[in-house]
Structure 1
Amino acid sequence: MRSKICFVILWIAGVYQVMAQNGIEKVVDSLYKEDQFYIGITYNMFGNRPVDLSQNGFSNGIHLGIIKDMPLNKRRNVALGLGLGYSANSFYHNLHISQDDNQVTTYNLILESDTYTKNKFSNHLVEMPFEFRWRTSTPEEYKFWRIYTGFKLGYIFRNRVKYRGDLGDVRYTNVKGFEKFQYGFTVSFGYNTWNAYMYYALSPIFSKENQINGQTIDMNNIKIGLMFYVL
C-alpha cells in the first residue's frame, strides 16, 4: 500500500512539472507567492540507537500539507512559511515491544535465535512546519533554486505496533511509552520540482522512563528524502 502511495506522489509531481513547463497560462503577478502545498517521501532512520538495536526493511514516511507563504522583501524571494500538515511513518527494527493487560509496555531486543517475518511500529502525526525561505524566483519564472530551513512541531495522534514471529502474532494500537510531541529542525533545497529534504528530531521517540536492560531508549528520528512543492 505504501509503495502505491509513493507512486501516486511521484506521478502527481511529474504532472505538475509538465504543467508548469508548458505554462497553461502564465499571468504575471508582482505580488506572487510560492510553494503553498508540499508532498514528501522519506526514508526514516534511528539516531542515538542503543547498542545492538538495528533497523531492517524499508522504513518510510509520507508527508503532505499546506503552507502560508509570507514574503519579506519587495522582490519576494525571501519569505516565511507557516503551515499545517499530516505525516505517516513506519519503522522496521529488532526491538520487541509488548504490552500486558494493564497496558504496561516492555521493550526487549529480539535474540538472534528468534525468527520473525514482521516487526515494526508506525505513527500518524499532525504537524506544524515553520520555515525561513530563500529562492531565486521571479513573477515570470516557474523554475528556480530554493533553500528552506526551519522547525517542525508534531503531535502523534495514533501509533501501532505489529509483530509476527516466534514470540507470537500481536498488534497493539495507541501503545503507551511513545513520546507524543515531536519537534526538530528541517531543511530542503533543490531546483524546480525535485528537492532534497532532511528532518532531525530533537525529541526522543520513546518516553525517557522506558529502558532496555537498564539502558534508556534515547533514540530520535532522522528523515531524509524528497520534497515536492506545488503552488
Structure 2
Amino acid sequence: MQPPDLNYLEDQFYVGLTYNFILNKPETVNQQNLSYGLQLGFIKDLPLNEERNIGLGLGLGYAFNSYYSNLQVVELEEGFRYQLLSSDLGAKRNKVETHLIEVPFEIRFRNSTPSEYRFWRLYFGAKLGYVLGGRAKTVTADFKDSFYVTDIEKFRYGVMANFGYNTFNIHVYYALNNLFKDGLTLDTGQDLTFKPLRIGLIFYIL
C-alpha cells in the first residue's frame, strides 16, 4: 500500500454555477427570467499548518454573468440611454452580460487528511475582477439589438464565502461596487445603482 502524501494540496481547480440577484437597484427596475453565472479557474493551495487543514488560496479564473431585467440599454451616438423596457415591445429577452477575468483570494478551513477526500470546508475571502467586455441585448419578435456597453465598471470587487461537504458546496458572492459606473441615471432621473449578489454551487477538483 502506498503511504499517504503528507504534503498533499487540496481544491486546485473550481467550477461554479450561480443565480445572479440584482440588489440596490432603482425601485422601478425588476429582475426577470433566469439571471445566471458561470465561473471556472485555478487556485493555488497554500497550507499554513502541519495538519494542512488551514490555508490560503490564490487563484485566477474566468467568469460569465448575465442579468435579465426590464432595464433597457439604448445605444446612442453620444453614449447610452437607460430606460425601462416598454411592454409594447413584447420582449423575449432583455439582459446585460459581462465577461471577466477574476482573482479570488480565500482563507481556508477544512477537516481534510492525507487519506480522506471527503471533508467539510469553509472558505471565505475576496474576489477581484476585470471586465473584458460587457454587452446589452434585447430580443423581441421583430428585432434583435446587441452591442457593447462601455458604461460598465471595469474593476469589480466583492466578498465571498464557499462552504459545504465533499462535492457539493454553496458559493455566495456580494459585490461591493456598482455594476455600472457612478453618476449614471435612468431617463427618469433615478440613480442607476446595480449591485450583484450571486448564490449557487461550486465544485472543487484536485
Indicate the TM-score class for this superposition, using the shorter chain for normalisation.
over 0.9
Aligned equivalents of 2:98, 2:32: Cα separation in 1: 17
Residue 8 of structure 1 is matched in structure 2 by none
1:116 and 2:91 equivalent?
yes
Letter of the 2:47 counterpart: P
Spell out the pairing of 1:12-27 with structure 2 (5 A cutoff). none
Letter of the 2:145 counterpart: V
Q: Give me the TM-score of the superposition, normalised by structure 2.
A: 0.95
Residue 44 of structure 1 is matched in structure 2 by 20
Aligned equivalents of 2:144, 2:172: Cα separation in 1: 34
1:91 and 2:73 equivalent?
no
Distance apart, 1:167 and its partner CA: 8.9
Aligned equivalents of 2:161, 2:28: Cα separation in 1: 30
8 Å Cα contact 2:92-2:141 kept in structure 1: no
Q: Give me the TM-score of the superposition, normalised by structure 1.
A: 0.85
Aligned equivalents of 2:3, 2:22: Cα separation in 1: 45
Letter of the 2:135 counterpart: R
Aligned equivalents of 2:3, 2:137: Cα separation in 1: 51
8 Å Cα contact 1:26-1:140 kept in structure 2: no
Q: Give the counterpart of 1:181 among 130, 139, 155.
A: 155
Given the superposition, is the C-alpha separation of residues 225 and 187 from structure 1 closer, same or farther in structure 2, using an over 3 Å criterion? same
Aligned equivalents of 1:147, 1:47: Cα separation in 2: 25
- Percent identity over the alignment is 44
Distance apart, 1:26 and its partner CA: 6.8
Q: Structure 1, unaligned stretches of length 5 or more? A: 1-24
Alignment RMSD: 1.6
Residue 4 of structure 1 is matched in structure 2 by none
1:147 and 2:154 equivalent?
no
Distance apart, 1:114 and its partner CA: 3.9
Given the superposition, is the C-alpha separation of residues 226 and 26 from structure 1 closer, same or farther in structure 2, using an over 3 Å criterion? farther
8 Å Cα contact 1:41-1:227 kept in structure 2: yes
Residue 225 of structure 1 is matched in structure 2 by 200
Decide which moves more: 132-141 or 155-164: 155-164
8 Å Cα contact 1:152-1:184 kept in structure 2: yes
Distance apart, 1:38 and its partner CA: 0.4
